[in-house]
Every structure is written in structure tokens, then in C-alpha cells.
Amino acid sequence: ASDMSETVNKVNVVFGDASESVIAFAKDAAKSLGMSREQALSAAGTFGNLFTSMGLGKKESAKLSTNLVKLAADLGSFNNMDPTVVLDKLRAGLTGETEPLKALGIALNQDKIEAKALEMGLMELGGELTSAAKIQATYALIVEGTTNAHGDFIETAGGLANSTKIIQGQIKDLAADMGEQLLPIALKVVTRVGDMVSKFSEMDASGQKAILVVAGLAAAMGPLLTVTGKLIPLLPTIISFLASPAGLIIGGVALL
């Protein structure tokens, strides 16, 4: 739940007014992508941060980011790969590392990227390829080079592999929903512990030593009380054994 809260905050900052469409996209991510809401939002936020840093608008970044998250789910299903691994490879490809894309059946190089940028009108012949133009051209080539995988997750959602991903995503969503109800309580506990730590650090050395001694005694008494508690029901049996001939013999040997 805490991770979910932080991720939603990141999405709001990265996409601004376009964040609502990204949050709506991730709402049913477990069924449609085999990811939890937090995983889908986190991936989209990471892509969006990359796109916006290279000059793309927030609305366009939101569209490209959600498309890439969906593509990662399809490629993971098509290639029997973990979607998080696919996301890492796609992110690497967008930043210029074309080698990881080969594992997904995508072969890119600078010439292809420049040719695509010219085709899309993102640069002029002989002109400079900007970062924004390069990432858009790379994205287009990735989408074009993975047509066989498009829609594969939904088409094979009934299989064991994707059914398992769906259940795992739903369980994580359930945990986040339950945790959201506990966040206020957890915050109070953390705040109280923080106050206690602050007060401890403000004490003089003798006061800190006294508390540590008491804490050490309490820690030592725990196991002792546990052992004692287990021994008490056995005392009649132990006494009977010590009074028996065998117990007397063992006791005599021990004394020797």
C-alpha cells in the first residue's frame, strides 16, 4: 500500500493532467496485463519520466508509456518471459541500447532509426536527430517489429502461465487495498517509535545505559520464561523419575 501511494504520486508528477488516463489504464491491469496496479503504474511512470525528460509532452508521454506497458505484457506472454524483464529491455532500447531488444526479435541500428525519423517527419534530410525525434522513431520501430506479439496476452489469458500472472496481480492488488486501510495505523506506530527514538537520543549517557540494561534483562527473561513455562507441567514426571532407582543411579553418577 505504501509503494502504491508513492507510485501514484510519481505518476501524478510525471504526467500532470494526463495522469488520470494512466491511473484508469492500470485499474484492471491484473486481468488485462497480468500485472498489479502498482507494477503497471510504476512501469508507466518510469517510461513517462524518460519521455518527458527528452522533450515530449505529458499527454503524448502518457499515451506512449501505457502502450509500452501493454506491449511488455504481450511480449512477455509471446516469448514466455517475465514482463519486468521485457520492460527493462524496452527501456534499454529506447535509451539507445539496441542489443537487449534482440532477445525480443527486434533489430535496430542508427540508420534504421534515422530513416524512420525522416519518414515520420521528425527530422529533415541531413538535419540533426534530436533526442525527442530519436525516441519517437525508436518507439515506432519497436511497435512495428513486434506485430506478431500484439494482443497475445489476452488471446492466451486462459493458459496456465497467464492465468498465474493474473492471480498474482490480483493478490498484490488485494494486499494493497487491505494495506491502505492499515496505513493510518502504521503511520501512527512509526511516528510513535520515532518520538521514542528522539527522546532516547536526547537522554544523557546514564539514562540511556539504564534503559539498555532493562531492555537487555527483558530480552533475556523472554526465553527463560518460555523454557520455565514448558518445564512446569513436566515437574511431576521429573520428580517421579528422580525418585526412581534409575534416577537415583544417574544422580549418583552425576555427583561423582
Please name the amino acid found at residue 37: R
Q: Measured between alpha carbons, how far is residue 75 from residues 91, 95, 102, 143, 239 in Å?
A: 14, 19, 12, 11, 71
Q: What is the per-residue pLDDT for 1?
A: 77
Angle at Cα 81 formed by Cα 49 and Cα 36, nearest 5°? 55
Helix (H) or strand (E) holding 84: helix 83-94
Q: How far apart are CA 108 and CA 102, in angstroms?
A: 8
Question: In the numeric block, which cell numbers belong to residue 242?
Answer: 528422580
Greatest mean pLDDT range, 2-11, 42-51, 166-175: 42-51
Q: Which 8-state DSSP code applies to residue 36?
A: -
Query: Which residues make Cβ contacts (< 8 Å) with residue 117, sequence separation at least 6?
Result: 123, 129, 133, 134, 136, 137
Instruction: Name which of 58, 46, 47 is nearest 19 in CA terms.
Output: 58
Q: What is the per-residue pLDDT for 221?
A: 62
What number of other Cβ atoms are within 10 A of residue 185's Cβ? Answer: 9
- pLDDT tens for 40-78 read 999 999 999 999 998 899 999 999 999 999 999 999 999
The pLDDT of 116-145, averaged and rounded, is 89
Alpha-carbon torsion (16, 45, 29, 138), positive or negative: positive
Q: How far apart are CA 202 and CA 207, in angstroms?
A: 10
Q: How far apart are CA 7 and CA 69, in angstroms?
A: 15
Q: Mean pLDDT, the chain, as a whole number?
A: 82
Q: What is the dihedral of CA 121, 125, 126, 132, to 10 degrees?
A: 10
Chain centroid to CA 69: how far?
Answer: 15
Q: What is the per-residue pLDDT for 125?
A: 78
Q: Is the pTM of this model over 0.75?
A: no
What number of other Cβ atoms are within 10 A of residue 249's Cβ? Answer: 10
Q: How far apart are CA 117 and CA 99, in angstroms?
A: 20
